[in-house]
Structures are given as structure tokens and as C-alpha cells.
Structure 1
Amino acid sequence: MRLETALLPLISLTLASSIPLSHTTTTTNDADHDGVAYRIPTVHESAVLARRILDLEKIGTLSTIFPNAHSAENRPSNVGGSPIGLPDYYANCEPDTGNPTILELPIATSFKNVQAGSNISLSLRWHAPYRHWYSVASVPRFNLVGYLEELTDEEIKDKSIAACFVKKHPDAAAWLPGNRIHVSKWVRFVVQEIYWIGGFGDRAYIGWIPLEDWQSVTLEEIEKARLPGEGTGWGLWTSWLGLGGDKEQETLEL
């Protein structure tokens, strides 16, 4: 077993809250913790990071509520009204709106619940590159509340939805509308509310992001933003382990 693998749990527990973290979208520091200065990102800066996660990630968790009864399925009688969260594919095929694109298979549980009247939300989190060791509690995650809306044939063609989606999910080519296995259709997740957890509360914004901030984020802002692990350095971790690395790198970029 490699040394860094063996020490990973120890690192996560002992260092996650003690290593100074800097945020590339911030320029000044207002708070001070143990002699280290921080500034909590603004709501709009957090919206930019959320939109970058939406662009870079491709799998989220759809949360819905089981109906009290379902004639087409033999479900336990006591699950009515209970929530269920299931992973599903999505793609950012309408980047100008921030509304994720989903390939809906009506046979799937999440979409059955929606058809039965359930609300729906989509949860995403940033998966930092494997070469960077971050506590999950320190990296951004957020929840989108909204509803599903079927795309028109014109929208599907004009926005090249199929090509966009398959670029993110090559295996989804077998499930595109018109396949011989299951009925499927293109829908957009229309975002109405955004709840954001940027990381540890002493250095990240936690709370609601107004829809106007979510929608006003520009493609230029998304391209310039950087998430945990997108920086070039991880010298502090390797230095602590005695494994070498860039000794000049004293902070991990957020």
C-alpha cells in the first residue's frame, strides 16, 4: 500500500480544518482564523462556482417523493410520501440559461414519481481531481429545485441536444429517443431555487443563491473560475507527508 493512500484518512481528519485555503475569486480578506486571513466569497461568486460545477460534472442525484399509491407497481404500502434520491445523467446543453438537460426515461422511478405529482430537485457536488486530497465537507455542493419541461423538436435540433448529451455520456447513445428498448424524451430541468454549500462555513458561503444571480453568470466568468483541485499545486500535502513537491506552494487553491 502506498504511503499517501495509507495516510489519507488521517489527513482528512486532522488537516481538513487547519490548512489555510485561498479562493481564486477573492482579492481581499476580512476574517481572521488562528492568524490566517480569509474572505467568504460573495453570493455571486458562489453562483459562478455553482455554474462551473454544473458545466464540469455530469451526474447528479434526482430527489423525488413516492406517491401514496401506484397502480403499475407493487410497492410497499409504507413508502408513500417518502423521499428517494437516485443518480442520473445530465448535461449542460443550455449554458445560457443554467437549466440542465436530462434524458428522461418514463419507466425510471424518479420520472414515475414526477408523473404522479412529486416535486423534484437535482443535487450536485464537485469531485476534486484525484491528485488532490480534500475532505468532502470542504468542497462545494448544491441543490437545484425546479421542474421538468419537455424540449420541442425545434429546440432539440437548434441546440444539438443529442450531440451535446452524448459527448458527456457516450453510452447514452443507446437510449436516445426512438431507441428499441425504452421510451425516452428530452427534458430540461427548469431551475427555480438554488441552495449552496460552498464548504466550511468560516470560509465559504452557505445559503440560497437568488435565481437572478444564477441566470446572470456569464460564460466568461465560468471559464475563469477555479474549483478546489483545479489549481496547479498540492505541495503542502506532499511536504507534510515528506514526499517532496513544490515547497513554495503553501495553500491549496479554491
Structure 2
Amino acid sequence: MRLDPALLPLISLASASALPSWHDKSAHEIYHDGAGFKIPTVHESAVLARRILDIERVGTLSTVFPTTHATENRPSNVGGSPIGLPDYFANCEPDTGNPTILELPIATSFKNVQAGSNISLSLRWHAPYKHWYSVASVPRFNLVGYLEEFTDEEVKDENIAACFVKKHPDAATWLPGNRIHVSKWVRLVVQEIYWIGGFGDRAYIGWIPLEEWQSVSQDEIEKARLPGEDSPWSWRLWFGLVDNKQEMLEL
């Protein structure tokens, strides 16, 4: 059985109503509560969000341009406009859930913060499968908070540099003390979490209380499985593109 790629949009519409929900169990399972599909709880969603924070490496920092800027020739009409730019992060303080960021004050996001902007970090799960899928069906979320600089003692005691470079080897060239740019270690102190787990009829969409975010254990994070983590065929089962594992293997 081989599917014509041109038919995939039609198949997705036809099969969307049959998509199961999922939570923090193995991704190849079809999740249900005995009577039907089960929408993950707020805590299960918090676990999945924390796993994304642990696995992913790049997010989008969103800030707002100031109305005036003394050192840059910006268009006059961008003041107050939001801008989202990709940046590295790492989960170097897993007990808190606060992402670690290597701040370069010369970068636009951090200039905006210095000028008084709020800041947030948006993340999404990039599932490791090769087959077609809908981005609307996979989790994404936003962390609202503020930047706080690490003390020298914290950087040393928590081995921040080694943690960050393990996730981002290329960042070794612009660590604090480099000869190219001024840089420093900061944490995004999380204050609010907004979660979109996927389609609303099978995933939680809404705010995750900070206490739920902070209560997630490392053991829960390690045991959780996101869509596509377990096998390349599981996602196609969920979309109804194949009826069973054997049929997937025959494709």
C-alpha cells in the first residue's frame, strides 16, 4: 500500500476525528480511559512540557521594540511592535524548570529587555519521524517570565558552562570571557506557562499553574514519551493512515 502525497490533506481531514489523545506513557500506545480517549490532565501536560524543555535546544524569544532607541537607526513605526527571534537555551536547572540562556547584550532580544520589554520563550516539539504529520497536532507552549543573571558562584557550582556547551557545542566560542562579544549567563525565571497540547478535543489547551510546572520530577520527565519518540510507525497509526503495525511495515 502506497499513498499518493496529493491525497494526504484529504486523509488528514477525514481522519482527524479519529485521532487519539496521548499523555505521559509510551508513545506507541493508544491512550484511553476505558470509555474513550482521555484528554491529558494539567499535570500530565506539565510533564510533557518539561520533557520538551529537557530535549529541545532552540526556542523563540519574543520581546517588544522600545518606542525610541538611542544607539540604533530603527524605523520610527516599529516602536511597541513584537519581534520573535530564535535563540539557544538549555535545561541546566532541572529542579526549577527555569531555562538557561547565554545572553549577548548586543542581540536584539536582549536590547529590547534592557529597554524595558517583557520577554517570553516559545518552544515546540519537533517529533523525530520522517512521515507526514500535522504541526497543529503536536505540543507547543510559551514561558512568560523575566531574565535574572547567574552569580559567579551559581555558574561554578551548577556547572552551567559545561551543561550549556553539551547541548550547544558551537556556543563554546561565545561563552563569557570570549574576545568577540560580551556575554553572560541568565535564567528565564518562569512566571506563567501557556500550553497547547495539540487538537483541543484530545489534548489540554490552557494555562499550567506554576506550582504544577515546578512540581514535575526528573523521574517523570525521563519516563514521559512525546509523539514520535518510540517508533516511526506510531504516528501514522494515530492518524489512521494505516490500520496496524504490520501494515506499516509493509509500506
TM above 0.5, yes or no, is yes
Q: Are residues 117 and 192 of structure 1, via their aligned partners in 2, closer, same or farther at CA, if it must alter by over 3 Å?
A: same
Give structure 1 stretches of 5+ with no counterpart.
32-36, 250-254
Q: Please state whether the residue corresponding to 1:73 is helix, strand or coil.
A: coil
Distance 2:221 2:170 in 1: 27
* Alignment equivalent of 1:29, drawn from 18, 25, 33: 33
Give CA deviations for 1:131-171 in whole Å, capped at 9, x if unaligned.
Answer: 35321000000000000000001100111111110111111
Q: Are residues 189 and 39 of structure 1, via their aligned partners in 2, closer, same or farther at CA, if it must alter by over 3 Å?
A: same
Q: Are residues 49 and 12 of structure 1, via their aligned partners in 2, closer, same or farther at CA, if it must alter by over 3 Å?
A: farther
Partner of 1:115: 114
Partner of 1:191: 190
Q: Taking every aligned residue pair, what percent have the same amino acid on both sides? A: 74
Q: Please state whether the residue corresponding to 1:95 is helix, strand or coil.
A: coil
Aligned AA (1:17) = A
Partner of 1:143: 142
Give structure 2 stretches of 5+ with no counterpart.
26-30
Q: Are residues 248 and 142 of structure 1, via their aligned partners in 2, closer, same or farther at CA, if it must alter by over 3 Å?
A: same
CA RMSD for the aligned pairs? 2.6
Q: CA deviation at 1:234?
A: 1.0
Give matches, 1:116-135, under 5 Å: 116-135=115-134
Partner of 2:155: 156
Partner of 1:252: none
Aligned AA (1:154) = E
Give matches, 1:84-123, under 5 Å: 84-123=83-122
Aligned AA (2:83) = I
Give CA deviations for 1:26-84 in whole Å, capped at 9, x if unaligned.
Answer: 775377xxxxx211110000000000000000100000000000001000000000000
Q: Are residues 240 and 216 of structure 1, via their aligned partners in 2, closer, same or farther at CA, if it must alter by over 3 Å?
A: closer
Asked if the contact 1:16/1:134 (under 8 Å) is kept, the reply is no
Q: CA deviation at 1:23?
A: 1.7
TM-score (ref. length: structure 2)? 0.87
Q: Are residues 9 and 174 of structure 1, via their aligned partners in 2, closer, same or farther at CA, if it must alter by over 3 Å?
A: farther
Q: Please state whether the residue corresponding to 2:246 is helix, strand or coil.
A: coil
Distance 2:11 2:175 in 1: 41
Give matches, 1:1-254, under 5 Å: 6=5, 10=9, 13-14=12-13, 17-25=16-24, 28-29=32-33, 37-232=36-231, 234=233, 237=236, 246-247=245-246
TM-score (ref. length: structure 1)? 0.86
Q: CA deviation at 1:112?
A: 0.1
Give CA deviations for 1:182-218 in whole Å, capped at 9, x if unaligned.
Answer: 0000000000000000000000000000000000000
Partner of 2:28: none
Bigger RCO (CA 8 Å, 6+ sep): 2
Distance 1:228 1:134 in 2: 11
Asked if the contact 1:126/1:141 (under 8 Å) is kept, the reply is yes
Q: Are residues 55 and 247 of structure 1, via their aligned partners in 2, closer, same or farther at CA, if it must alter by over 3 Å?
A: same
Q: CA deviation at 1:17?
A: 1.0
Distance 1:112 1:236 in 2: 41
Count of paired positions: 241
